[in-house]
Amino acid sequence: MIDVALRDLSKWLAATPLSHTIQTHGWIIPALQTIHILSVAVVFSSAVLVDLRILGLLQRDAPLTQVARRFIPLIWPVLVILLLTGSLLIVGEPKRSLLNTTFYFKMTLLAVALVLTAGLQWSLAAAPNFWNSGSGQLAGKCAAAVSILVWCGIIFAGRFIAYTQMG
């Protein structure tokens, strides 16, 4: 049922003028992928730098609230570029992602990563002292480790989309 709908959607998208333009100009897809990867670099590095601060591995001379304030706000506008370039890549080659389980796995991991990021940003604003308490530190370290792993999973899944597409 969903399969059929996604196949129809893919067919419809592939027939749009925008998709046709992307397909017939060979430079557009690598250019979009380049912007997409550069944006991943910004978002991923920002998240990892904050996570490494939570884990006490880098930037210990600056308080967590300050490190988080420097890096997390950058994630949201760059995420918009990611969604935009990602959407254009789907319009250009709809079947490659929409009919590919790896793509949905990547989107699920992305949702988890964003919830963790938003949760951290929110909690640092609402209860900054929580992160200095014993249980807060432990919870923070677990969340930071999970965050790094999930972001790594997103990048692996992103690369594997190219290897798991149907036909």
Partner 1 sequence: MMHALSDLIAYVEGSALADNIRENDFLFPVIESIHVLTICLVVGSILAVDLRLLGLASTDRPLSRITRGILPLTWCAFLFAVASGSLLFISNATKYLGNGFFIAKMLLIGAAGLNMAIFHFIGAKDLPRWESDARLPLPARLAGGASIALWIAVVACGRWIGFTMPVG
d(CA 167, CA 165): 7
Determine if 61 is a binding residue for partner 1 (CB under 8 A): yes
CB of 137 to partner 1, least distance (A): 20
Write the CB contacts of 98 (distance below 8 Å, at least 6 apart in sequence).
6, 9, 10, 13, 90
Determine if 81 is a binding residue for partner 1 (CB under 8 A): no
- Interaction residues for partner 1, span 146-165 (CB under 8 A): 152, 155-156, 158-160, 162-163
Determine if 42 is a binding residue for partner 1 (CB under 8 A): yes
Determine if 28 is a binding residue for partner 1 (CB under 8 A): no
Percent helix, strand, coil in the chain, to 5, is 85, 0, 15
Write the CB contacts of 65 (distance below 8 Å, at least 6 apart in sequence).
124, 128
Determine if 123 is a binding residue for partner 1 (CB under 8 A): no
State the residues that interact with partner 1 by CB under 8 A.
26, 29-31, 33-34, 37-38, 40-46, 48-49, 52, 58-59, 61-62, 70-71, 152, 155-156, 158-160, 162-163
